[in-house]
Amino acid sequence: MKKLQNRNVKKYTLAALLMGVGLNSFAQETGKKNDPEKPVTIDSFDVVRDYKPILADAVKIRRSPDMTNKREYQPKLNYGNIIDKKLDINTGLKQLNVQEIPFAQPFEHSSNYVKFGVGNYNTILGEAYLASEQFENTRFGLFAKHLSQKGNIDGQKFSTQDIGIFGRRVLDAVTVKGTIGYNRYGTNFYGQTFDQPGTTLLNTSPDKQTFTDIYLNGELASNVDPKNEQSVSYSAKVDGYLFKDAYKAKENSFALSGYLNKRMSAFNVGANVSVTMNDVKNENDTANVKNNLFLINPYIRFKGDNYNVTLGANLTSEFGDESRFNVFPSVEADFSLAPEYISLFAGVNGNVRQGSFRNFAKENPYLAPNVRIANSIEKLNVYGGLKGNAGATFGYKVKVFYKQIEGLPLFKNSAFGDNQGGYIPWAFDVVYDGQINKAKHMGLEGEINVRLSQLVNLGGKVFIDDYNLSDEEEAWGLPKFRLQANARFNISDKFFVDAELSSQGNTYAYVYDYNTDGSRVADSGHKVTIASFADLNAGAEYRIKKQFGVFVKANNIFGKEYQRYMYYPRLGFNVIGGLNYSF
């Protein structure tokens, strides 16, 4: 009870004190207004309780101070190394003496490399690329490659060698570049052909086949400012090669081509011109061909922000052993429905595709002697489709077309035995469809490229074709479905993985039955189906050091010895591994 009374007394005393302070403040304010010169003073304070400072826990220092008195070691300083020299400031700043520095490369080389690898099937791989990139406007170098393999079938050998030099020079007005090279490809006619019972191998001693190719090309092209709406651009190019096989067949070719284009604000006017001289000679003089072609393509092109329209014509003249003159339209239009995302394109044209022994041999190296070389004429080519992209990570293109062709080239197994006219059944003749009525070729092409991230890149192409022929039963050797896909994975800065998948639908061949002596059975010709296949290849590379790495590549992972051409099975599963060094 007494504690309660003391508490009440303290409360009342505090209230009285606050009321006194308030009255005193009011009196001070009033006095200030009545007498501004009179100072305000406080004479006394009444202390009602002792002051006890309290420090919050958050700001307390919980470390005890170190009370020991330590003196850090101070080294003895010596200033005797200061040179006593008068500062020369009479003439102000002196001229700087520029010192020459040794020539240094503007950047580190990374494109030069050498590679060596070995694998099963007696595989040997050697490759080198050397280029000088020390100068900003000049680049030159050389490349070389060797690859050889040997399969389990007698005569199943392959070897290729490629070597060349190249150069490029960028001047103020033009850019000049060129290449001179030598290529050799060797194989054997190892085709697995059997007699009519299917028990005796007719091709017991496969003949060798070797192709050599000496080639050169050079180009001079103008450097154009894209911002100049009145610019003139031009180019001149020369191509030539000497190509021959192991059976005295050879082809000499020389070509000149160029273009001239004049920009005039919203449209361009120009022309493409080319002349090609081909001379094919065989062991049999009756198969010699002089096949020359002159082409001029004048055009006018209208270009805007969302459209591009080209109107022109292809004027072609064939001269040599045969002479013909053809005029074809050349019209193309491209409209952007949604800029960068989707564009609609379409066109119609025609042209002459020059027949070439070199091109045929690179596509099918198992050609019979004295093949016939002729041109293929696309009387009509109508196409259209969609293309576009979504940013930098997704791009696509879809195209449909319809062609009318006179002289569609096809690879057909030779009709004769080894003792009949020198032809062999495991070799191929070149036949041409559409000589009576035009061959019709319809197709669909699709392409897609996807970049999922900086680590993953995917791409693929698909081709669907259909042929309506007039002279042949089937489009021999031409598939109606093809798929090509690729992927690259950048696992890290040192580890890379890539893969390729190629697939092909059924193809057809026209074959004959043969007797044990190699002679052909009369009226035995018939169509056979070459089964479809899928070929998966994958490789990996690991950089042990910045310039040194190891690689491995596996081909035909599915291990199926499929046939691209009749009687010629491909190598099964094979692996190549080795080392590479870049500098």
Q: Report the alpha-carbon distance of residue 515 to residue 497 in Å, rounded.
A: 51
What the block records as the tokens of 72 is 């850090």
Report pLDDT digits (tens) over 207-256.
Answer: 999 999 999 999 999 998 877 878 899 999 999 999 999 988 999 999 99
pLDDT at 12: 53
What was the pLDDT predicted at 157? 96
- What do you get for the CA distance between the two ends of the chain, in Å? 100
| Residue 193: CA count within 13 A, CB half-sphere | 30
pLDDT score recorded for residue 493: 87
Give me the pLDDT at residue 93, please. Answer: 43
- Give DSSP secondary structure letters for 198-237: S-SBS-SSPPEEEEEEEEEEEEEEE---TT-TT-EEEEEE
Q: What is the pLDDT of residue 3?
A: 46
- Residue 101: phi and psi, rounded to 5, are -110, 155
Assigned token pair, 531: 């089964």
Q: What is the pLDDT of residue 225?
A: 80
- Which residue, 514, 521, 509, 512, is CA-closest to 201? 514
CA distances from 267 to 19, 234, 346, 349 (A): 96, 16, 19, 20
C-alpha span between 163 and 371 (Å, rounded):
28
Question: What CA–CA distance (Å, rounded) separates 565 from 364?
Answer: 8
Give the separation between CA 185 and CA 145, rounded to whole angstroms. 12
Q: What is the pLDDT of residue 109?
A: 45
The class that CATH gives domain 375-583 is mainly beta
**pLDDT score for 340:** 79
**Two structure tokens written together for 547:** 């310039």
Q: How far is CA 287 from CA 282, 283, 342, 377, in A?
A: 6, 8, 50, 21
Q: How many CA atoms lie within 13 A of 99 on its CB side?
A: 2
CB 290 within 8 A of CB 278: yes
**In this structure, which amino acid lies at residue 440?**
K
Query: Residue 2, exposed/middle/buried by CB under 10 A (0-12, 13-18, 19+)?
Result: exposed
pLDDT computed for residue 54 by the predictor: 56
Q: Which two tokens stand for residue 407?
A: 């002289």
Contacts of 548 by beta carbon, 8 Å cutoff, 6+ apart: 579, 580, 581
Q: Give the residues of the chain that fall short of pLDDT 50.
A: 1-5, 9, 17-18, 20-38, 40, 42, 58-59, 67-68, 70-74, 77, 79, 81-109
Please report the beta strands in 304-407, taking only residues with DSSP state E, as ranges in sequence order: 307-320, 324-338, 342-353, 376-389, 394-406
Half-sphere exposure of 93 (CA within 13 A, CB side): 3
Distance between CA atoms of 281 and 286, rounded to whole angstroms? 9
Cα-based distances in Å from 40 to 28, 32, 44, 47: 7, 8, 13, 21
Radius of gyration for the chain, computed over Cα atoms and rounded to the nearest angstrom = 43
How far apart CA 221 and CA 235 sit, in angstroms, is 4
> Residues 308, 313, 319, CA angle at the centre, nearest 5°?
145
